[in-house]
Structure 1
């Protein structure tokens, strides 16, 4: 990182506007009131008592990735994005910090979006690929730390339209094909940089491991109509451990999927750098994952940078961490 980034370094503002359906007012009260600071990855202490290790950790930038083809500029100001989708309950607790100063970033707009339990994206149901019916290769038995039934080798067949192919990281944006908006939403970080979403554990589709997309927008304005202006300082993805994915695959409707699954190590987007690369910290009952999963992560971002995920994303195998 350079230390001379001033106003001149700031990129031109990209105009963004979020319209709240039905004219509902934006919920701008603090969120995540029940989230403990120590629940976030990369933190080993609180406030001024944080250790040197924690200080070093927070200087790491979270990896930038491609936006992917299925982003829709935020139009749902909400922290519960589940709608009526069936799946394992997932609570996603995030903290957004300035990677240079380690201070929390308040009033940021955080977008997340992901596919449903069978690999379908809202807004793109006709382009997404998923699978139902009796699974032919679903994992069986109780997951272990070193599962022996993981898919191996390079997945065969064509990936879904717009999905990553050939290790390029998934290029161009697709225009929405329908009006559905489930499993998408935007919420505001509180004064401590916290934001929490309620959703479901994502499923998988051909060519990608299980993941959630995220964008962080700063310097905009929250109004009764939504979020306006500002710029995107981070575009990334969150990933799940193989153990958790194997456990989810034993629960309906995930267990009905016949879609070939790409593992975490086979994925062309995840850079294998752990929490820096977006690997979530997970808590769940290993014998009863259907009861729900708690996921958490700290995002180290550069609020003065622009990362919209269209041309400057980290490519597979690269690391975005910096001191």
Structure 2
């Protein structure tokens, strides 16, 4: 389980990102309160904390099944955290804009632990914003990313609904919000950005 905290950046360099989420039940109006939400992401050079560096083979799709899960540094927790939703179904994290790794578009992973099951999904970013962010330090020192939203095999399955609504700029940082409607055990049924805005 990721540490329960709002600030997950630790010592990682990158453009500040404030992430705000609101979880709603299948009726799209009832807030899901006291749900433990876990997020984790790659740093600006595409590395996850606690896991082996991973380079995909040419043509290999990177999924949760294909990435090695051998923990090599259990004490490393950067860019990982969890929060419980409040009575409005909201939670927030302070992090950085994620970097990319081979065969995947830029994303943040998320698990919502409901009473009788968990829902796993990914949060995405508009490609034009990512291109602008990656043209600036500390991201610009890396090769050009090999996968965009349009060419990502996982994004193709409902990713458009999971794109964060971003406000801000590539110099000072962004606030990204999303309202996620969870449809039973089927996972996220729909999402809409602006209604996820949080004042917390």
Per the normalisation by structure 2, the TM-score is 0.84
Instruction: Tell me the residue number matched to 2:143.
Output: 258
Structure 1 position 169, deviation (Å): 4.3
- 1:241 Cα offset (Å): 0.7
Q: Deviations over 1:260-309 (max 9, x none)?
A: 43111000111265652x11111123xxx12001101011113x5276xx
| Equivalent in the alignment of 2:132 | 247
Q: Deviations over 1:199-242 (max 9, x none)?
A: 000010110010000000122xxxxxxxxxx531x110011111
Question: Aligned partners of 2:37 and 2:114: how far apart in 1?
Answer: 9
User: Which consecutive residues of structure 1, in runs of 5 or more, have no partner in the other structure?
Assistant: 1-73, 130-156, 220-229, 308-318
Residues 107-256 of structure 1 mapped to structure 2, 5 A cutoff: 107-124=34-51, 126-129=52-55, 158=57, 165-166=60-61, 169-172=63-66, 174-179=69-74, 180-219=76-115, 231-232=117-118, 234-256=119-141
2:8 equivalent to 1:77: no
Among 185, 189, 194, the residue aligned to 1:305 = 185
Alignment partner of 1:293 is 2:188: no
The answer for unaligned runs of 5 or more in structure 2 is 191-200
Using the TM superposition, give the Cα deviation of residue 252 of structure 1 relative to its aligned residue in structure 2, in angstroms. 1.2
Is contact 2:41–2:79 with CA below 8 Å preserved after alignment? yes
Partners of 2:31 and 2:25 lie apart in 1 by 6
User: 1:255 and 1:87, CA in 2 relative to 1: closer, same or farther beyond 3 A?
Assistant: same
Query: How far, CA to CA, are the matches of 1:236 and 1:101 in structure 2?
Result: 18
**Alpha carbons of 1:264 and 1:251: their partners in 2 closer, same or farther (altered >3 Å)?**
same
Taking the aligned partners of 1:213 and 1:280, their CA distance within structure 2 comes to 13
Q: Secondary structure at the match of 1:111?
A: strand
Counterpart-to-counterpart distance in 1, 2:15 and 2:27: 36
**Aligned mates of 2:171, 2:73 — CA distance in 1:** 30
Q: Quick one: structure 1 residues 170 and 78, their matched pair in 2 at CA, closer, same or farther if it must change by over 3 Å?
A: closer
Larger radius of gyration: 1
Q: 1:250: Cα distance to partner? A: 1.6
Paired residues of 1:275 and 1:297 also in contact (CA < 8 A): no
Give 3-state SS (helix, strand or coil) of 1:284's partner.
strand
Greater share of strand residues, 1 or 2? 2
| TM-score for both structures, normalised by structure 1 | 0.54
Q: CA RMSD in A?
A: 2.4
